[in-house]
C-alpha cells in the first residue's frame, strides 16, 4: 500500500486471508512459560492496573532506589519508574552473577573466519568493568555520547555495556554505512569518542572501518579520541594524538568497577533510523523502561529457559541487535550466540553449521534471510543436525506465508513454533506477536499485542476501525520502552509520532485485524522502504542522487523483491550536458549512504510524472518499476504521456 494510494483511500483493502492455523505441539505447550490463560490474565492486568503490572516486572530487577511512580505521562512525553535509580549493565551482569550464573556462558561468539570465543558472565563482567574504567580514563562522563562503528565482535557488546555502566550514551552505527552517513551521525550526536576496529570481515573480505572513521573525522569537529580494536590486523593509518588501541587502553585497566546508580530516565542510547524526510532520526531510549520491557519480552516471547542457547542473528547496528542480542537476553541470564559474518560464508550452510555446532535452541532471524535460504533449497539445511532448535522467530518485515511455512517445516522440523514479532526502532521492544505456547500461529500474521500494548486501527483522521478492517496501526498509550524523543529535535518527535493522528502513537505501518484479534502488517504507508529488513527513506536516497553532478531531479520507489522484500528503483532527470552513468550513480549512493541503498535499477526520464501542483505521483512510478501496466486515474497529471515514455525506456 503506497502513501498516496493510502491517502486517497484510507481503508486498506482486506487482503486474501491466510487460512492456515498452526498450533504449538502439546509438548511445547506443556512446558511453556506463558499459557493462554496466563496471557489473558497478564494482558488484562497490564491495561487495567498498569502500575501493579509493570511494578511487578520491574521488581524482579535490581534498583538502587525504588521508583516513586510507575508512569508520568504528559503527552507526548512519558517517564517510567519516575524517581527510580538503577543500572542496566549491573542488572545484566552483576545481578546474574549474584544469582549463581557467574560460570554460565554469556556470549559464544563465532567470527566469519571460524574463530570461536566465549565469555562467562563473570568474564564478561570483568571485560565490561575494564572497558568502563578505560572509557572513564579517556574522560567519558555520564551523558556523553560515544559512537560505535564496529563489526559484530564481542568488543562491540562489551563497549555498549561499558557505556551503559558508566551512564554514557552509545550510538551504534551499522558497519555497512558509508563515511558520510557516519560523519552525519557522529556530528548529530556530538560524540567526542568513537570506538571502531581496524576492519571487520564481511563475505570473506576485510571492511576497513578505521579508514572510514579517518575520513569521517575530517568532516566533524567534535571528535577527540578514536579507540581501535584490532580485529583483522590490517594496516591502518594512525593519528598519534587521537587514536588509541583498545588493547592498550583496556587490557591494563582495573577489572573492578562499581556501577553508579542512574536515574530511570537517564539516556541509554541513541540509534539512528530513516524517516520520510532526508535526515535520519536519532531515536533516544532511556534506562528503566527499556530495561524492564526488553527483559520481559525476551523472557516471554522466546519462552526462555536456563539451558537455552539463544541466537538472534541481527547486527548490533540495528535495534534488534540492541534489544535481543545484547540487553534482553543478558538481563535474563541467557547464553547468547553471536556471529560476525554473512549467512553465505563460506556457503549457504553457515547458519545451520553454527546451530549444529553450538546446539542453538532458539533462532531469531529475518524474512529476507529465510527467503535466501529457501531459494537455495531444502537440501543444504538437510545436511545438518538442527534437532537442538525448539523455537524460531522472525522480525524486520512482513513474512510471506510461503517463507513462514518453509522456515517452520525445513528449519523447525514442524516441531518448533514460529513467533513473528512486529516492532520498530522506536518501540524498543516487541509489540505484537503470538506467544509460542499460548496461541496458534497464522503464517504471515504477527498476532496479538504484548503486555501493556494497546493497538488500534485508525483512519488518518483518527477514526477507529473495527475488526476485519484495514487501517493505520496506532498504539493508544505509552509503553515502557517507547522512544523518548528524537535526539536534538523534540519538535520532530512530537510531529512525527504523536502529531500525525491526534493523541496516539503512529509510526508508519498499515495493518488489518482478524476476528481473533490477530494483526497482520501490510507494510509502510509512508515514504520509507524496507530493504532486507532495513529501513531506508526514499528522500535520503533521492538527496544522495541529486547530490551527484549529473542528476537534477530524482524520485525513488520500492519494487517488490523476492529475497530483499523491496529493492530500490530510481527515476532521474539529467542535468543539461550530462549523460547517465549507472555505475557511477550506484557508487555515489553507496558512498553517500551505504551499499544497502544502492539502486537496483535506474530509469532516465525526460520529465517526472507530476500533478499540476508539482507533486511527483510515485504510485505510477511504482507500477513502472514493478513492470506492471499503468493503472489508475492519470488525468491529474500535467502530462500523462510522460508515463508511457518512461515505461518504454529500459532501466540502466
Ligand atoms: C519497520 C521497523 C523491529 C526490528 C527490525 C526493524 C517493519 C518489523 C515486522 C514484522 C511486518 C515488520 C515495519 C516496521 N517490520 N517487523 N514482524 N512484520 N513488518 O526495525 O528498522 O525500525 O523498522 O519494520 O514496517 O515499521 P526498523
Q: Ligand 1, residue 507: give the atom nearest the CA.
A: 26
> With a 6 A CB cut-off, is 518 part of the ligand 1 pocket?
no
Q: Does 394 fall in a domain?
A: yes
Q: Does 520 fall in a domain?
A: no
Q: How far apart are CA 494 and CA 61, in angstroms?
A: 31
Distance 439 CA to ligand 1 centre (A): 22
Q: Ligand 1, residue 320: give the atom nearest the CA.
A: 4
> With a 6 A CB cut-off, is 505 part of the ligand 1 pocket?
no
> With a 6 A CB cut-off, is 398 part of the ligand 1 pocket?
yes
**CA-nearest residue, atom 1 of ligand 1:** 424
Domain co-membership, 225 together with 94: yes
The helix or strand, by DSSP H or E, that contains position 71, with its residue range, turns out to be strand 69-74
Domain boundary among 446, 477, 511: 511
Distance 189 CA to ligand 1 centre (A): 24
The pLDDT assigned to 7 comes to 41
**CA-nearest residue, atom 18 of ligand 1:** 398
> With a 6 A CB cut-off, is 212 part of the ligand 1 pocket?
no
The pLDDT assigned to 18 comes to 54
The residues near 647 (Cβ < 8 Å, ≥ 6 apart) are 624, 630
Domain co-membership, 473 together with 351: yes
Beta strand spans in 230-341 (E) = 243-245, 262-263, 267-273, 281-286, 309-312, 335-339
Q: Does 591 fall in a domain?
A: yes
Domain co-membership, 293 together with 248: yes
At residue 385, the 3 state secondary structure works out as coil
Domain boundary among 480, 511, 542: 511
Domain co-membership, 296 together with 148: yes
CB 372 within 8 A of CB 403: no
Q: Does 348 fall in a domain?
A: yes
Q: Does 9 fall in a domain?
A: no
The Cβ of residue 247 has, within 10 Å, a number of other Cβ atoms equal to 12
The pLDDT assigned to 279 comes to 86
Q: Ligand 1, residue 422: give the atom nearest the CA.
A: 17
> With a 6 A CB cut-off, is 521 part of the ligand 1 pocket?
yes
Beta strand spans in 300-390 (E) = 309-312, 335-339, 362-365
**CA-nearest residue, atom 7 of ligand 1:** 397
Q: How far apart are CA 8 and CA 395, in angstroms?
A: 30
Domain co-membership, 505 together with 532: no
CB 527 within 8 A of CB 538: yes
Q: Ligand 1, residue 314: give the atom nearest the CA.
A: 5
Domain co-membership, 479 together with 537: no
Domain co-membership, 337 together with 478: yes
Question: Sign of the C-alpha dihedral, residues 640, 642, 647, 651?
Answer: negative
**CA-nearest residue, atom 8 of ligand 1:** 396
DSSP assignment string, 84-145: -EE-HHHHHTHHHIIIIITTSEEEEEE-TTS-EEEEEHHHHHHHHHHHHHHHHHTT--TT-E
CATH number at residue 424: 3.40.50.12780
The pLDDT assigned to 112 comes to 94
CATH number at residue 568: 3.30.300.30
DSSP assignment string, 18-50: P---BPPPHHHHHH-SS-HHHHHHHHHHHHHSH
Structural domain including 553 reads: 528-647
**CA-nearest residue, atom 12 of ligand 1:** 397
> With a 6 A CB cut-off, is 403 part of the ligand 1 pocket?
no
> With a 6 A CB cut-off, is 431 part of the ligand 1 pocket?
no
The helix or strand, by DSSP H or E, that contains position 232, with its residue range, turns out to be none
> With a 6 A CB cut-off, is 420 part of the ligand 1 pocket?
yes
Domain co-membership, 533 together with 426: no
**CA-nearest residue, atom 2 of ligand 1:** 424
> With a 6 A CB cut-off, is 424 part of the ligand 1 pocket?
yes
Which of these, 28, 32, 31, 57, lies nearest to 42 by C-alpha position?
Answer: 57
Domain co-membership, 463 together with 558: no
Pocket test for ligand 1, best of 1, 281, 283, 397 (most atoms within 8 A of CB): 397
Dihedral angle of Cα 178, 134, 90, 230, to the nearest 10 degrees: 50
Rounded to an integer, what is the distance from CA 578 to the centroid of its chain? 39
Distance 449 CA to ligand 1 centre (A): 15
Q: Does 272 fall in a domain?
A: yes
Distance 206 CA to ligand 1 centre (A): 29
Domain boundary among 449, 478, 511: 511
**CA-nearest residue, atom 14 of ligand 1:** 424
At residue 467, the 3 state secondary structure works out as coil
Domain co-membership, 585 together with 458: no
Q: How far apart are CA 150 and CA 140, in angstroms?
A: 19
Distance 446 CA to ligand 1 centre (A): 11
Indicate left, alpha or beta for 422 from its phi (over 0: left) and psi (-120 to 50: alpha): beta
The pLDDT assigned to 275 comes to 84
Residues in the chain: 652
Which of these, 469, 559, 474, lies nearest to 508 by C-alpha position?
Answer: 474
CB 544 within 8 A of CB 589: yes
Pocket test for ligand 1, best of 6, 395, 424 (most atoms within 8 A of CB): 424
Number of domains in the chain: 2
pLDDT, one tens digit per residue, over 100-113 is: 999 999 999 999 99
Q: Ligand 1, residue 528: give the atom nearest the CA.
A: 25
Q: Does 562 fall in a domain?
A: yes
The residues near 629 (Cβ < 8 Å, ≥ 6 apart) are 623
pLDDT, one tens digit per residue, over 238-293 is: 999 999 999 999 999 999 999 999 999 999 999 999 887 778 899 999 999 999 99
**Cis peptide preceding 76, ω within 30 of 0:** yes
Distance 395 CA to ligand 1 centre (A): 7
CB burial of 519-545 (b: ≥16 within 10 Å; e: otherwise) equals bbbbbbbbbbbbbbbbbbbbbbbbbbb
> With a 6 A CB cut-off, is 482 part of the ligand 1 pocket?
no
**CA-nearest residue, atom 17 of ligand 1:** 422
Residue stretches of the chain with pLDDT short of 50: 1-16
Q: Ligand 1, residue 521: give the atom nearest the CA.
A: 11
Domain co-membership, 369 together with 422: yes
Q: Does 518 fall in a domain?
A: no
Neighbour-count burial of 279, counting CB atoms closer than 10 A to its CB (0-12 exposed, 13-18 middle, 19+ buried)? middle
Domain co-membership, 455 together with 537: no
> With a 6 A CB cut-off, is 397 part of the ligand 1 pocket?
yes
Amino acid at each position: 500500500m503506497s502513501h498516496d494510494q493510502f491517502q486517497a483511500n484510507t481503508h486498506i483493502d482486506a487482503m486474501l486471508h491466510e487460512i492456515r492455523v498452526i498450533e504449538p505441539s502439546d509438548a511445547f505447550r506443556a512446558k511453556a512459560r506463558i499459557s493462554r490463560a496466563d496471557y489473558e490474565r497478564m494482558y488484562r492486568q497490564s491495561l487495567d492496573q498498569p502500575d501493579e503490572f509493570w511494578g511487578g516486572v520491574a521488581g524482579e530487577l535490581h534498583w538502587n532506589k525504588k521508583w516513586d511512580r510507575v508512569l508520568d505521562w504528559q503527552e507526548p512525553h512519558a517517564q517510567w519508574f519516575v524517581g527510580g535509580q538503577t543500572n542496566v549493565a549491573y542488572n545484566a551482569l552483576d545481578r546474574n552473577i549474584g544469582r549463581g550464573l557467574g560460570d554460565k556462558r554469556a556470549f559464544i561468539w563465532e567470527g566469519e573466519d571460524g574463530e570461536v570465543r566465549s565469555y562467562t558472565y563473570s568474564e564478561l563482567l570483568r571485560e565490561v568493568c575494564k572497558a568502563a574504567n578505560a572509557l572513564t580514563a579517556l574522560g567519558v562522563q555520564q551523558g556523553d555520547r560515544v559512537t560505535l562503528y564496529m563489526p559484530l565482535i564481542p568488543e562491540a557488546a562489551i563497549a555498549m555495556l561499558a557505556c551503559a555502566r558508566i551512564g554514557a550514551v552509545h550510538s551504534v552505527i551499522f558497519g555497512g554505512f558509508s563515511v558520510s552517513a557516519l560523519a552525519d551521525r557522529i556530528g548529530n550526536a556530538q560524540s567526542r569518542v568513537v570506538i571502531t576496529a581496524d576492519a571487520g570481515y564481511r563475505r570473506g573480505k576485510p571492511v576497513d572501518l578505521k579508514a572510514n572513521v579517518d575520513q569521517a573525522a575530517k568532516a566533524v569537529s567534535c571528535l577527540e579520541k578514536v579507540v581501535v580494536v584490532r580485529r583483522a590486523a590490517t594496516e591502518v593509518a594512525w593519528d598519534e594524538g587521537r587514536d588509541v588501541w583498545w588493547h592498550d587502553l583496556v587490557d591494563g585497566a582495573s577489572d573492578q568497577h562499581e556501577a553508579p546508580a542512574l536515574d530511570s530516565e537517564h539516556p541509554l542510547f541513541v540509534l539512528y533510523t530513516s524517516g520520510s524526510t532526508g535526515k535520519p532520526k536519532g531515536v533516544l531510549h532511556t534506562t528503566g523502561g527499556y530495561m524492564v520491557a526488553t527483559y520481559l519480552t525476551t523472557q516471554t516471547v522466546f519462552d526462555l529457559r536456563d539451558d537455552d542457547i539463544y541466537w538472534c542473528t541481527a547486527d548490533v547496528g540495528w535495534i534488534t541487535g540492541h534489544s535481543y542480542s545484547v540487553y534482553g537476553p543478558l538481563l535474563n541470564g541467557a547464553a547468547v550466540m553471536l556471529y560476525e559474518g554473512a549467512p553465505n560464508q563460506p556457503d549457504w550452510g553457515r547458519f545451520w553449521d553454527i546451530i549444529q555446532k553450538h546446539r542453538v535452541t532458539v533462532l531469531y532471524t529475518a524474512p529476507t534471510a529465510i527467503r535466501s535460504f529457501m531459494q537455495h533449497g531444502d537440501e543444504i539445511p538437510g545436511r545438518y543436525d538442527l534437532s537442538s532448535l525448539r523455537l524460531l522467530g522472525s522480525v524486520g518485515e512482513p513474512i510471506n506465508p510461503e517463507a513462514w511455512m518453509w522456515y517452520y517445516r525445513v528449519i523447525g522440523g514442524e516441531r518448533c513454533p514460529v513467533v513473528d514479532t512486529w516492532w520498530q526502532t522506536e518501540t524498543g521492544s516487541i509489540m505484537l506477536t503470538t506467544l509460542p505456547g499460548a496461541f496458534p500461529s497464522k503464517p504471515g500474521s504477527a498476532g496479538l499485542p504484548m503486555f501493556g500494548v494497546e493497538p488500534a486501527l485508525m483512519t488518518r483522521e483518527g477514526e477507529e476501525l473495527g475488526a476485519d478492517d484495514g487501517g493505520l496501526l496506532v498504539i493508544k498509550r505509552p509503553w515502557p520502552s517507547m522512544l523518548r524523543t528524537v535526539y536534538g529535535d523534540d519538535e520532530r518527535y512530537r510531529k512525527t509520532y504523536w502529531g500525525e493522528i491526534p493523541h496516539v502513537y503512529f509510526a508508519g505501518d498499515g495493518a488489518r485485524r482478524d476476528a481473533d484479534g490477530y494483526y497482520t502488517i501490510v507494510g509502510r504507508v509512508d515514504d520509507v522502504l524496507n530493504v532486507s529488513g532495513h529501513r531506508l527513506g526514499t528522500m535520503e536516497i533521492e538527496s544522495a542522487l541529486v547530490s551527484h553532478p549529473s542528476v537534477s531531479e530524482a524520485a525513488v520507489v520500492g519494487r517488490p523483491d523476492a529475497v530483499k522484500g523491496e529493492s530500490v528503483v530510481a527515476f532521474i532527470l539529467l542535468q543539461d550536458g550530462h549523460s547517465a552513468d549507472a555505475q557511477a550513480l550506484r557508487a555515489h549512493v553507496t558512498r553517500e549512504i551505504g551499499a544497502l541503498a544502492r539502486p537496483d535499477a535506474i530509469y532516465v526520464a525526460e520529465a517526472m510524472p507530476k500533478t499540476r501542483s508539482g507533486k511527483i505521483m510515485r504510485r505510477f512510478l511504482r507500477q513502472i518499476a514493478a513492470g506492471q501496466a499503468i493503472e489508475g486515474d492519470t488525468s491529474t497529471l500535467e502530462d500523462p504521456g510522460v508515463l508511457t515514455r518512461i515505461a518504454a525506456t529500459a532501466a540502466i
